[in-house]
Amino acid sequence: MELGTSRVSDTRKAWIRYLTKYWLQPVLVLLALSPPLLTAGGAYHGLFWISLICLLTLLEILIPARPDWQESFNDKLMVLGLVWIANTFGELCEGFFEETLFPWLASLRESLGLDIWPSDWPLLLQVLLLFMGFELVNYWYHRGAHRWNWLWRASGHGTHHAFKHLTALNTMANHPLEALFLLLPLLVVGYMLGGADVALATGSLFVVTVFLAHSNLDLNSKIIGWFFTTNRYHIHHHSMVMEESNTNYGCACILWDRIFGTFSDADTEEAGIGKSQPSYAELFLMPFEEPSSSEIAPAPRVAAAAAD
Ligand SMILES: [Zn+2]
């Protein structure tokens, strides 16, 4: 009886694994681009994101791509704590900038005649344009953080890379300071170039892609991975091998890596900044002190010059 139950369960799991691998990302992308969600208010997007993280977490428990990456309850709590702190700080920063910096940038845009956003285009095209524009800014910030030690430190980007096991929840596990840098696309493309009005409509496409890019699920990268970042590519960026980590900077759109020559399609052995995962305290102190186990942080300029 137990054997029979197990067999049924295995067959179901095989179906769920198949549907997840080939259909999950395309269906979620289409859903994020569907007219009801594109025109929905913030509360509906929020509900969609919460449902999405619950679904992906459930799938990661049921059919993990790497069973050894399944986290203990304590590990999950640690990630959740970091997510909460980083998100709270990010929302405070965004709220402050919405009152101060963003209106000033909008008026500067008008006075400089930079009002070039094609607001008469169909909403879907504007969303795709904003998606690519945001990702272009993010690509260069992200590449810079892996190139210059001062930016790696100032943004606390190493904290996001420090986890040995990745899940969808790790998407938001950043150092609070990085929230300031993650607002750069909104600042440049949203307010300097005028695309801010479609930022909310673009939000779900971002969330779907970046959550999946960090997920511990077996996903197909063919066709969809030509334009969107898949977890095969992004987990490679999370490799603890520096040469591998210095590829695939696009967290949602992999096209810019293909264009700028940083794309890599290869297996990943191990994630993290080094052999061991830093403690919770070390994660917060990373802007000030790099853990001794770190192998992927860019070398400080003085040390790099001395080594040459
Ligand atoms: Zn990175």
**Residue 130 pLDDT more than 90?**
yes
| Per-residue tokens: 20 | 């997840």
The mean of the pLDDT values for the chain is 90
- Band (4; pLDDT cuts 50, 70, 90): very low
pLDDT digits (tens, 9 = 90+) for 212-264: 999 999 999 899 999 999 999 999 999 999 999 999 999 999 999 999 999 99
Which range, 17-31, 190-204, 280-294, has the best average confidence (pLDDT)?
A: 17-31
**Range 34-57 average pLDDT:** 94
Put residue 168 in one of left, alpha, beta given phi > 0 → left and psi -120 to 50 → alpha.
alpha
Q: Measured in angstroms, how far is the CA atom of residue 183 from the centroid of ligand 1?
A: 16
**Residue 138 pLDDT more than 80?**
yes
Q: Measured in angstroms, how far is the CA atom of residue 286 from the centroid of ligand 1?
A: 14
Closest of 244, 83, 246, 255 to residue 171, by C-alpha: 83
Least-confidence region, from 88-92, 94-98, 158-162, 271-275:
94-98
Q: Which amino acid, 174?
A: N
Q: Measured in angstroms, how far is the CA atom of residue 56 from the centroid of ligand 1?
A: 22
Q: Measured in angstroms, how far is the CA atom of residue 84 from the centroid of ligand 1?
A: 20
Q: Measured in angstroms, how far is the CA atom of residue 2 from the centroid of ligand 1?
A: 45
Least-confidence region, from 15-24, 81-90, 121-130, 263-272:
81-90
Percent of the chain with pLDDT over 90: 69
Q: What is the pLDDT of residue 191?
A: 81
Q: Measured in angstroms, how far is the CA atom of residue 52 from the centroid of ligand 1?
A: 23
Q: Which residue has the higher pLDDT, 5 or 225?
A: 225
Are 217 and 64 in contact by the 8 Å Cβ rule? The answer is yes
Q: Measured in angstroms, how far is the CA atom of residue 245 from the centroid of ligand 1?
A: 7
**Range 71-78 average pLDDT:** 83
**Residue 190 pLDDT more than 70?**
yes
Q: Measured in angstroms, how far is the CA atom of residue 108 from the centroid of ligand 1?
A: 32
| Per-residue tokens: 243 | 């040469």
**Residue 112 pLDDT more than 70?**
yes
Are 201 and 251 in contact by the 8 Å Cβ rule? The answer is no
Q: Measured in angstroms, how far is the CA atom of residue 53 from the centroid of ligand 1?
A: 21
Provide the whole-model pTM.
0.90
Least-confidence region, from 100-104, 179-183, 234-238:
100-104
Bridge partners for 271 per DSSP: 239
- Band (7; pLDDT cuts 50, 70, 90): low
Q: What is the pLDDT of residue 257?
A: 98
Q: What is the pLDDT of residue 305?
A: 53
**Residue 98 pLDDT more than 70?**
yes
Q: What are phi and psi of 41, to 5 degrees?
A: -80, 175
Q: Measured in angstroms, how far is the CA atom of residue 255 from the centroid of ligand 1?
A: 16
**Residue 5 pLDDT more than 80?**
no
| Per-residue tokens: 280 | 């919770």
Dihedral, CA of residue 240, residue 135, residue 288 and residue 296, to nearest 10:
20
